[in-house]
Structure 1
């Protein structure tokens, strides 16, 4: 039929009879078509569909002309002419589609039916989803434009039952009620939006439903319902055994875009294709226009704002770039297009509870590209299949490092924490123990796991045991951060696994201690024997399981006391800390040095937990709770516990200070049942409570440094600086070694003198020479001389409580039997 004849026919159809027919049609629309209007002959369905579509286009043109307002005809004539021409072009296109549909065999016609569905968003419309056999066209209802057809399907169940066996229904879905202008910007089902009419396929055959279930990678229309559950929606009013009993699944083009290859493989692998073959034939005959766009762009590694939602596929791994770090997640369900806000992604990755890997929910948003076309890896989130090998290897290495620290581990850390709030110096020691972390912080964010069950399409495990070996794809999903307990700061910190390193034990440091050989051997033997879980079993040195007291649980630990004057090496004997001060000047000290300081803990390869009186507190109840916690950690982590300057808890009880008596009692009772290594240091052993003497297994006295000891300490410092490449006149300083050894200084004072000399040289931007050391020693000597004037006794005399009475001072002398004498105030003499 030529365009001229079509125009002539349109003009003739504008009669009173046609107007009456249109009015009757509008009345049916207003009542939502309460009943069926007849049956359609389906002997040659596809050809009839083509003819009906052409006829509907004619009616569309007539309706537009019939219901145009008289006063607007002249102004709208040109627009109507343009619409008529567009309708004629569409008729030609549908004619071609009809010929393509004719290639489908007659046997296929009975397997599916094509219907038109109108979704109305206009307020006040009672029926918001109407189904038609013919293509809807514009009609005016109460001066509002709506879409409607001539052949409504009021009872879909009866329609399908009368038609015969049907595998699926094809809905060509349109929106009315100002259509695109009022269409929601975010679809509840989570599918990408399409322009104009979109095609929805509803599966109603059990056979076809089962076939698609077997190859599906994710749920249709984005529903993430539980395994074995049912999709949302009511029952379809169909009473035939060939149809599924629940509401049929509806599949949009997005679903078939990600499953078309799987459907082809399934059809090719089976000689009898059945309904799945019919579905494949239809999808190939009527592909969605977005398929070609996506294939072309994605094949080049590019994406646009239009194709962005089609890029993501549920249950696949995504790469996320956050804070200069790369993480991996699994997309849980179909992405949601949030319009200008971007694409919303519901994801998960693995978290660890100390026993199992469990899923943690994560919500990501991908911004819409601002440019027309961008490379896919430039997105903040993109599928792993578009990542380069370097990114994949980085994810794999990070996951392996996390998995290697899943059990209790003593590690070294250097660098910023996870949030970048603090930078830790080299070899900062910490413990990684997720079970212990959960005991103390059960409600931390790290232990907030997903409560959503896996879907029937989810092939990922719901959890993975710590004893299992995860696959590489699961290893990639492990987080880049892990929680550890810093032994020095005594707090849990979120760490980066990339900054964690094995502990570099410095066992030679113990040999540098200036102590008699017999004392060194005793300390070494006691600590190594107590380390029953970590030493070589072939040595047969462990004491585990051996009773050391008549009452089980008592006296099982090793409690050592190191006492002596300040700077004699008590803390150095026990302490392990190899922190390096960041940047100049580098300070060498027992507690903060560039080189590893030898200690008992280093020798035995045991963590050191340093506790101070300030950490413990002074209230008896709080002290008991804190000590119980510390001793529990020390036993679980096989630590060397160091209680430095423990005089306040070990001092002799009196009748006047009941609060301090309570502290001493709590401390005594706690130590009695500790099964581990505890080292106490004190400068005033003469004031100890008598009850502590029996609880201390070994007490080592550190006398004041004599000349040979001072010579050795000076030599040790110079050798360490020489090995470190320090800018120092070593030969010139070595020439004054005898003069240095003659200076009555303790180890800490020697360290301070070396540090001061280095800082002076750094300020002058010159080499450290003897003059710098001499200047530092002179300043320290002046201070010591000033302090010694009102106190005519040495540090050693003060420690041993052999102080003579001086003006205004408290005199404490030892009794002949060795017991400390009661405190007495000396008489003031001028």
Structure 2
């Protein structure tokens, strides 16, 4: 640590004292006891004061105490009191009031102690660090600050282990509450035991996510914000807050592969500090300093980002999702059985050529709003798989970019065991002819599809225009007719009953639903009408009624 006597070093001539100091601060910066002669900074000796007093008491209690060690510890303690006497008095007075001054920060931050910061990375989320060192520095603009260097445990996308981070505490006048600092020792928190317990509990959760790799967990992200990389106007990549609420894949390895080294990958884990194998059974003090974030992908927002570990929760999969589909029972059971039976390593789908033909591909056709997308969502829910949804518009029309992006999507959905839904895939399915650009896209898709090993569902509005080459690659194909009045009754009932369960208000009468079902609307239009009507009812502080729905239908073109 860099304190008032940073320019000097203490020559440790006593071998027993050297061994005790090594026990207390082994590996700490500023401790060079294995050199000749053994050296130690005065600040390190100061931080050893309490441990030396305890060691002296313990030695005296022994049946055959080491008198040389007792005397040498006494000499060290006298040195500390003589050189730091005036500071010790000031420090004790300040600490008793829970305060500290800028010039005594070095004395507050003891090597190997645990500090907590609420202003690190995800602001408002506590992050614990193990203190390594502290240094007083001056910036080019002549402002002074105290640089606290600490270590934590995280995953940078390649390695898992200890990473080193800095926290800068700007110079301040007079005494300041310790808990108001950017980082402070955990023991000064108003509820240190609760804080420590929560940090360890979160560390255990973080470790479970890391241990699962390369099989990433799909989680529900319940916080309103996370972080994602953003390219500024001058071309620099900076982290910024983003709304990432929804389902996410916690996967720092996939994040690194698709994003490279950015600020969100820090701290970088040096190989010598990596943790592998049996060492993954972390102790409480290690769990305490685990990262409060994990990198991954937002399935809801289709963006790579960084998520708070506290905001991740296990998903409650909707096992009844299939019951809401307006499709005949035979087809429903067929889809369910095929997807449940499919496994990425299942040889039953193997082609003669290795790695070919191991995917499960379904084609859903029909007009908009008849349940195609809902079917894919239901398949994902009942099989407890993530759903990765993409439209052809997102893939683009440039052949090289489409090939690259499609390859990335197919690979990560295979890695995560997703159900991949490509909505409105007509451009990839169309019969090849004289349009060279479109034919190239179809050929790219066919080639990628040959080696895909996951579950893929395609939707189209124009089944009659599908290229014949796709027929042999499709395992099941279902056409959805336009909704009948009875079908619309089911759709209206499903949406309104869901709202009723959420709000606790009574559902609409069967007569009201029958009345609404006579209107020739598709499923998407019905969903939009209910959603808008719910907002209207909430604004008017009333339970949802048929009047709200009819009002929405009268003023909107759905």
Q: TM-score, normalized by length of structure 1?
A: 0.57
Measured at CA, do residues 342 and 622 of structure 1 come closer, stay the same or move farther in structure 2, by a change above 3 Å? Answer: closer
Q: Does 1:553 align with 2:355?
A: yes
Tell me how far 1:627 sits from its aligned partner.
Answer: 1.7
Q: Is the 8 A contact 1:358 1:449 kept in 2?
A: no
Tell me how far 1:410 sits from its aligned partner.
Answer: 0.6
Alpha-carbon distance in structure 2 between the residues aligned to 1:361 and 1:765:
53
Alpha-carbon distance in structure 2 between the residues aligned to 1:439 and 1:485:
12
Residue correspondence of structure 1 range 234-313 to structure 2 within 5 A: 246-247=36-37, 249=39, 251-252=41-42, 255-256=45-46, 258-259=48-49, 260-261=52-53, 264-265=56-57, 268=60, 269=62, 271-274=65-68, 277-278=71-72, 280-281=74-75, 283-284=77-78, 287-288=81-82, 289-290=85-86, 292-293=88-89, 296-297=92-93, 300=96, 302-305=98-101, 307-313=104-110
Q: Which residue of 1 aligns with 2:299?
A: 487
Match among 11, 15, 21 for residue 207 of structure 1: 15
Q: Which residue of 1 aligns with 2:224?
A: 416
Q: Which residue of 1 aligns with 2:149?
A: 346
Q: Does 1:606 align with 2:385?
A: yes
Alpha-carbon distance in structure 2 between the residues aligned to 1:622 and 1:382:
49
Q: Which residue of 1 aligns with 2:111?
A: 314
Count of aligned pairs: 526
Alpha-carbon distance in structure 1 between the residues aligned to 2:484 and 2:415:
40
Per-residue CA deviation, residues 408-440 of structure 1 (Å, 9 max, x unaligned), is 111111223335823344xx1111112222222
Larger Rg: 1
Q: Which residue of 1 aligns with 2:197?
A: 393
Deviates more, 1:719-728 or 1:312-321: 719-728
Richer in helix (by share): 2
Alpha-carbon distance in structure 1 between the residues aligned to 2:355 and 2:553:
51
Alpha-carbon distance in structure 2 between the residues aligned to 1:433 and 1:572:
27
Per-residue CA deviation, residues 508-536 of structure 1 (Å, 9 max, x unaligned), is 12111111111111111111111x37xxx
Alpha-carbon distance in structure 2 between the residues aligned to 1:698 and 1:615:
25
Point out which structure has higher relative CO (alpha carbons under 8 A, 6+ apart): 2
RMSD of aligned C-alpha atoms? 3.5
Q: Does 1:754 align with 2:530?
A: yes
Alpha-carbon distance in structure 2 between the residues aligned to 1:574 and 1:451:
40
Per-residue CA deviation, residues 714-750 of structure 1 (Å, 9 max, x unaligned), is 332332233233767824xx32444333333322233
Measured at CA, do residues 349 and 224 of structure 1 come closer, stay the same or move farther in structure 2, by a change above 3 Å? Answer: farther
Structure 2, unaligned runs of 5 or more: 228-239
Question: Secondary structure at the residue paired with 2:310?
Answer: helix
Q: Which residue of 1 aligns with 2:394?
A: 615
Measured at CA, do residues 769 and 369 of structure 1 come closer, stay the same or move farther in structure 2, by a change above 3 Å? Answer: closer
Per-residue CA deviation, residues 660-688 of structure 1 (Å, 9 max, x unaligned), is 11111111121122112111111111111
Q: Which residue of 1 aligns with 2:408?
A: 629
Alpha-carbon distance in structure 1 between the residues aligned to 2:265 and 2:290:
14
Question: Secondary structure at the residue paired with 2:126?
Answer: strand
Q: TM-score, normalized by length of structure 2?
A: 0.83
Tell me how far 1:327 sits from its aligned partner.
Answer: 1.7
Q: Does 1:331 align with 2:131?
A: yes
Residue correspondence of structure 1 range 440-589 to structure 2 within 5 A: 440-449=258-267, 462-465=273-276, 468-530=280-342, 532=343, 544-546=346-348, 548-575=350-377
Q: Which residue of 2 aligns with 1:691?
A: 469
Structure 1, unaligned runs of 5 or more: 1-188, 231-245, 455-461, 534-542, 576-598, 785-830
Measured at CA, do residues 254 and 684 of structure 1 come closer, stay the same or move farther in structure 2, by a change above 3 Å? Answer: closer
Q: Which residue of 1 aligns with 2:209?
A: 405
Alpha-carbon distance in structure 2 between the residues aligned to 1:472 and 1:286:
32
Question: Secondary structure at the residue paired with 1:346?
Answer: strand
